[in-house]
Structure 1
Amino acid sequence: MEKSRGTMSAYRMFSVSELGVSTADPHVDQIIKEFLAIGEAVAARWIQMPKGILLLQMAPENPNSGAIYVYDRMRHNFYMLGFEGAEDTITLQQFADLLVEYDLLRYAEQPALLDDQWPKRKTA
């Protein structure tokens, strides 16, 4: 059965070191705040697990501006979850629906699953 937003993809955005923040895990709140500051955004939803964090990032005054991200706490990488069509117009209700429909919680539980979602570099 086809899903409401088609195929989901994951795109590695950048690492914490590329963001210029310490990778010390006790400071994960600071890492997320720095990430949100890049887009002058807020976390409308923040689901924290031992290995990953699932975020719905939005512009503070625009309820139709959400985009979904995963932070891999083990590898210190941020990923954007994309769908067919617009990726940054997700509302809170749509996020709740997508959370169930695409089983997004598994990516916060096991962010290593996202490694298979974006192209790997070929080794010689």
Structure 2
Amino acid sequence: MASLNYTTAFQRYKAKLDNPNWAVSAISADGELVISCWKQYFEPPADGVLRYVDSLSRWNGSNRAGWNLLRRHLEITLASNLNVRLVLARTDNPEAVAKGGDASKLNNTFSTREDLIGRLTHFDGDHFTIEFRRS
């Protein structure tokens, strides 16, 4: 997996970010949710499933526009049963991400996993789970 520019990673899925400075999700031209997911929030793979578990409440409010957009995208994805595509985000400071700070100031890398298709299997307005499987 080669490291990509953040916006280029989304473009690989035909998705355009509303604002690359704060958006972490987009709906692609193909009608799929494209989301940037932090590597440290994936559970170990089991039964061919790669499970991403995170929560909106982890964010401390420094990126309210991105938070609101992601929430809306998760609601749309759940209601319409959209496929989910992965932009894998890695950081050199997972502790700062866990505290909900502004991750745009960290040393991050991004790659795509075009071999995986995800489904939003849980969203309660805060906590969400996306299950990725090989396509």
Same fold (TM over 0.5): no
The structure with the larger Rg is 1
Q: TM-score, normalised by structure 2?
A: 0.29
User: Which protein has the bigger helix share?
Assistant: 1
Q: TM-score, normalised by structure 1?
A: 0.31
